[in-house]
Structure 1
Amino acid sequence: MDNLISSQATGVLYQTVVEGEAFFGHLERRASQSARFNLSQCVFKLLQLFAKFLVRRVFAGFLFVSKF
C-alpha cells in the first residue's frame, strides 16, 4: 500500500513537472513569434498552472494522510 501511494504521488509530481516544462516551452515559442505577447494571458496561465499544482499536492497529501 505504501508503494502504491508513493508511486501515485511521484506520478502526480512528475506529470506536473512535465506539464510545467511544456507550458513554459510553449510560452517561449509564442513570445518569440509575437512581439505583442499578451502579458495578462501569461499571468493567467501561470496562475492556472499553480492552482492545478496546489490541487494535486493537496490530493497527494490527502492520500498520504488517509493511509494512517
Structure 2
Amino acid sequence: MSTDNHPPTMVRCPTCGGPSVFAPGNKFRPFCGERCRNIDLGAWANEEFRMPAQTPPEDAPFGDPRTED
C-alpha cells in the first residue's frame, strides 16, 4: 500500500457551488458543510427534485400502457 501524500480531491458543493473536500474526513461530502446538506435534504422533503412527467387525463382507462395498442 502506498503512503503518498496527495492533496485532497476538491469538488463543487451541489448546493452553494463552493469548494468541498471529497474525502472521508468530510462527513458532509459531497456538500461543503452541514448547512448545505440540510438545504438539500429539505429540498428532497419538499419534493423539489422531480422528473417531469405527463399526468394522464382523469378519464383515462386503467391498465398497462405497454400492452395497449
The TM-score with structure 2 as length reference comes to: 0.25
- Tell me which structure has the larger Cα radius of gyration: 2
